Amino acid sequence: MTDLSQQFDRLIAQTDLTVSELQKEQLLGYVALLHKWNKAYNLTSVRNPSEMVIKHILDSIVVSPKLSGERFIDVGTGPGLPGIPLAIMNPGKSFTLLDSLGKRIRFIKQVIHELKITNVTPIQSRVEEFQPEEKFDAVLSRAFASMTDMVNWCHHLPKEEDGVFLALKGIYSEDEANDLPEWCSVKDVATLIVPELEGERHLVTLTGKK
Protein backbone atom coordinates (compact mmCIF):
# COMPACT_ATOMS: atom_id res chain seq x y z
CA MET A 1 0.00 0.00 0.00
CA THR A 2 1.37 3.40 -0.94
CA ASP A 3 2.14 6.14 1.56
CA LEU A 4 -0.72 8.27 0.17
CA SER A 5 -3.17 5.41 0.54
CA GLN A 6 -2.12 4.84 4.15
CA GLN A 7 -2.30 8.56 4.85
CA PHE A 8 -5.79 8.72 3.34
CA ASP A 9 -7.01 5.79 5.46
CA ARG A 10 -5.57 7.40 8.60
CA LEU A 11 -7.30 10.72 7.89
CA ILE A 12 -10.67 9.16 7.04
CA ALA A 13 -10.55 7.16 10.28
CA GLN A 14 -10.58 10.49 12.12
CA THR A 15 -13.88 11.51 10.47
CA ASP A 16 -17.42 10.11 10.30
CA LEU A 17 -17.15 9.72 6.53
CA THR A 18 -17.65 6.41 4.74
CA VAL A 19 -15.53 6.03 1.60
CA SER A 20 -15.74 3.02 -0.72
CA GLU A 21 -12.68 1.50 -2.39
CA LEU A 22 -13.78 2.98 -5.74
CA GLN A 23 -14.21 6.43 -4.20
CA LYS A 24 -10.80 6.20 -2.55
CA GLU A 25 -9.26 5.13 -5.87
CA GLN A 26 -10.90 8.08 -7.66
CA LEU A 27 -9.95 10.62 -4.97
CA LEU A 28 -6.31 9.53 -4.98
CA GLY A 29 -6.41 9.34 -8.79
CA TYR A 30 -7.50 12.96 -8.79
CA VAL A 31 -4.52 13.88 -6.56
CA ALA A 32 -2.18 12.07 -8.98
CA LEU A 33 -3.61 13.95 -11.98
CA LEU A 34 -3.52 17.28 -10.15
CA HIS A 35 0.12 16.71 -9.24
CA LYS A 36 1.00 15.70 -12.81
CA TRP A 37 -0.79 18.58 -14.54
CA ASN A 38 0.25 21.15 -11.95
CA LYS A 39 3.81 21.18 -13.22
CA ALA A 40 2.74 22.58 -16.58
CA TYR A 41 -0.58 24.28 -15.79
CA ASN A 42 0.06 25.76 -12.33
CA LEU A 43 -3.39 24.74 -11.07
CA THR A 44 -2.70 24.96 -7.33
CA SER A 45 -0.04 26.43 -5.06
CA VAL A 46 -0.04 23.14 -3.13
CA ARG A 47 2.79 21.12 -4.72
CA ASN A 48 3.05 18.10 -2.46
CA PRO A 49 0.56 15.22 -3.05
CA SER A 50 0.50 14.47 0.69
CA GLU A 51 -0.56 18.08 1.40
CA MET A 52 -3.12 17.88 -1.42
CA VAL A 53 -4.82 14.96 0.35
CA ILE A 54 -5.36 17.14 3.44
CA LYS A 55 -5.82 20.63 1.97
CA HIS A 56 -7.82 19.69 -1.13
CA ILE A 57 -9.43 16.26 -0.67
CA LEU A 58 -10.30 16.15 3.04
CA ASP A 59 -11.02 19.88 3.12
CA SER A 60 -13.61 19.31 0.37
CA ILE A 61 -15.22 16.02 1.36
CA VAL A 62 -15.94 17.04 4.97
CA VAL A 63 -18.70 19.18 3.41
CA SER A 64 -20.35 16.07 1.93
CA PRO A 65 -22.74 15.29 4.85
CA LYS A 66 -24.00 18.90 4.68
CA LEU A 67 -25.21 18.68 1.08
CA SER A 68 -28.98 18.73 0.74
CA GLY A 69 -30.58 18.42 -2.69
CA GLU A 70 -29.65 16.97 -6.08
CA ARG A 71 -28.18 19.77 -8.21
CA PHE A 72 -25.09 21.75 -7.25
CA ILE A 73 -22.86 24.31 -8.92
CA ASP A 74 -19.26 24.95 -7.84
CA VAL A 75 -18.45 28.53 -8.85
CA GLY A 76 -14.82 29.49 -9.44
CA THR A 77 -13.98 25.82 -9.17
CA GLY A 78 -10.33 26.24 -10.23
CA PRO A 79 -8.97 22.73 -10.81
CA GLY A 80 -12.27 21.26 -9.53
CA LEU A 81 -12.37 22.11 -5.84
CA PRO A 82 -14.49 21.29 -3.96
CA GLY A 83 -16.62 20.00 -6.87
CA ILE A 84 -14.63 16.94 -8.03
CA PRO A 85 -14.13 15.39 -4.55
CA LEU A 86 -17.78 16.09 -3.66
CA ALA A 87 -18.99 14.56 -6.94
CA ILE A 88 -16.94 11.43 -6.22
CA MET A 89 -18.48 11.22 -2.74
CA ASN A 90 -22.02 11.79 -4.06
CA PRO A 91 -22.45 9.81 -7.30
CA GLY A 92 -26.24 10.22 -7.12
CA LYS A 93 -26.07 14.04 -7.21
CA SER A 94 -25.12 16.24 -10.18
CA PHE A 95 -22.39 18.89 -10.10
CA THR A 96 -21.77 21.73 -12.54
CA LEU A 97 -18.20 23.06 -12.28
CA LEU A 98 -17.81 26.63 -13.50
CA ASP A 99 -14.58 28.48 -14.20
CA SER A 100 -13.57 31.21 -16.64
CA LEU A 101 -10.10 29.79 -17.40
CA GLY A 102 -9.82 27.30 -20.26
CA LYS A 103 -6.82 25.42 -18.86
CA ARG A 104 -8.74 24.59 -15.67
CA ILE A 105 -11.78 23.33 -17.59
CA ARG A 106 -9.52 21.24 -19.88
CA PHE A 107 -7.97 19.67 -16.79
CA ILE A 108 -11.40 18.89 -15.30
CA LYS A 109 -12.51 17.27 -18.57
CA GLN A 110 -9.40 15.08 -18.49
CA VAL A 111 -10.10 14.13 -14.86
CA ILE A 112 -13.70 13.08 -15.46
CA HIS A 113 -12.62 11.13 -18.56
CA GLU A 114 -9.75 9.27 -16.89
CA LEU A 115 -11.53 8.60 -13.59
CA LYS A 116 -14.90 7.80 -15.25
CA ILE A 117 -16.83 10.39 -13.22
CA THR A 118 -20.29 10.65 -14.77
CA ASN A 119 -22.02 13.28 -12.61
CA VAL A 120 -19.88 16.36 -13.43
CA THR A 121 -20.54 18.98 -16.12
CA PRO A 122 -17.59 21.36 -16.65
CA ILE A 123 -18.46 24.81 -18.07
CA GLN A 124 -16.10 27.60 -19.08
CA SER A 125 -17.83 30.90 -18.39
CA ARG A 126 -17.74 33.97 -16.22
CA VAL A 127 -20.28 33.44 -13.45
CA GLU A 128 -22.31 36.57 -14.22
CA GLU A 129 -22.70 35.45 -17.86
CA PHE A 130 -23.77 31.88 -17.13
CA GLN A 131 -27.52 31.33 -17.46
CA PRO A 132 -28.49 27.77 -16.46
CA GLU A 133 -31.57 26.11 -17.97
CA GLU A 134 -32.44 24.84 -14.51
CA LYS A 135 -31.52 26.48 -11.19
CA PHE A 136 -29.52 24.76 -8.45
CA ASP A 137 -30.28 23.47 -4.96
CA ALA A 138 -27.03 25.01 -3.77
CA VAL A 139 -24.25 27.26 -5.04
CA LEU A 140 -20.89 26.14 -3.64
CA SER A 141 -17.66 28.07 -3.52
CA ARG A 142 -14.42 28.23 -1.65
CA ALA A 143 -12.84 30.74 -4.05
CA PHE A 144 -14.59 34.02 -3.28
CA ALA A 145 -12.83 36.66 -1.23
CA SER A 146 -16.08 37.70 0.44
CA MET A 147 -19.55 36.28 0.92
CA THR A 148 -20.99 39.56 -0.41
CA ASP A 149 -19.17 39.06 -3.74
CA MET A 150 -20.40 35.48 -3.85
CA VAL A 151 -24.09 36.26 -3.39
CA ASN A 152 -24.02 39.33 -5.65
CA TRP A 153 -22.35 37.51 -8.54
CA CYS A 154 -24.26 34.25 -8.09
CA HIS A 155 -27.73 35.51 -7.09
CA HIS A 156 -29.26 34.16 -10.35
CA LEU A 157 -28.12 30.57 -9.77
CA PRO A 158 -29.97 29.04 -6.77
CA LYS A 159 -33.58 27.87 -6.95
CA GLU A 160 -36.08 30.60 -6.09
CA GLU A 161 -37.91 28.64 -3.42
CA ASP A 162 -35.27 26.92 -1.31
CA GLY A 163 -31.90 27.32 -3.03
CA VAL A 164 -28.94 28.25 -0.82
CA PHE A 165 -25.37 29.49 -1.04
CA LEU A 166 -22.70 27.36 0.65
CA ALA A 167 -19.50 29.29 1.32
CA LEU A 168 -16.41 27.37 2.45
CA LYS A 169 -14.51 29.74 4.69
CA GLY A 170 -11.56 29.72 7.04
CA ILE A 171 -12.39 31.95 10.00
CA TYR A 172 -16.04 32.99 10.17
CA SER A 173 -16.30 36.78 10.34
CA GLU A 174 -19.33 38.51 11.90
CA ASP A 175 -18.24 41.72 10.15
CA GLU A 176 -18.34 39.97 6.80
CA ALA A 177 -21.81 38.62 7.59
CA ASN A 178 -22.97 42.12 8.56
CA ASP A 179 -21.84 43.44 5.17
CA LEU A 180 -24.19 41.12 3.27
CA PRO A 181 -26.90 42.78 1.14
CA GLU A 182 -30.32 43.17 2.77
CA TRP A 183 -31.91 40.39 0.71
CA CYS A 184 -29.45 37.81 1.99
CA SER A 185 -28.90 36.36 5.46
CA VAL A 186 -26.82 33.74 7.26
CA LYS A 187 -28.91 30.62 7.86
CA ASP A 188 -26.26 28.43 9.49
CA VAL A 189 -22.56 28.37 10.38
CA ALA A 190 -21.08 24.89 10.74
CA THR A 191 -17.57 24.26 12.07
CA LEU A 192 -15.77 21.75 9.85
CA ILE A 193 -13.16 19.44 11.34
CA VAL A 194 -10.44 18.60 8.83
CA PRO A 195 -7.92 16.13 10.30
CA GLU A 196 -4.33 17.45 10.41
CA LEU A 197 -5.26 20.79 8.82
CA GLU A 198 -4.04 23.89 10.63
CA GLY A 199 -6.49 26.74 11.05
CA GLU A 200 -10.26 26.98 11.30
CA ARG A 201 -12.72 25.86 8.62
CA HIS A 202 -16.40 26.77 8.42
CA LEU A 203 -19.30 26.15 6.08
CA VAL A 204 -21.62 29.15 5.96
CA THR A 205 -25.12 28.60 4.58
CA LEU A 206 -26.69 31.75 3.15
CA THR A 207 -30.25 32.21 2.02
CA GLY A 208 -32.25 34.95 0.32
CA LYS A 209 -34.04 36.09 -2.83
CA LYS A 210 -33.06 38.97 -5.04
124 and 100 Cβ atoms separated by less than 8 Å: yes
Helix (H) or strand (E) holding 186: strand 184-191
State yes or no: 114 annotated in a binding site.
no
118 and 155 Cβ atoms separated by less than 8 Å: no
State yes or no: 204 annotated in a binding site.
no
31 and 49 Cβ atoms separated by less than 8 Å: yes
State yes or no: 189 annotated in a binding site.
no
Helix (H) or strand (E) holding 98: strand 94-99
Instruction: Name the 3-class secondary structure at 122.
Output: strand
Q: Report the C-alpha gap between 173 and 154 in whole angstroms.
A: 20
State yes or no: 201 annotated in a binding site.
no
Q: Report the C-alpha gap between 50 and 55 in whole angstroms.
A: 9
Binding site for S-adenosyl-L-methionine, by residue number, is 76, 81, 127-128, 142
Binding site, by residue number, is 76, 81, 127-128, 142
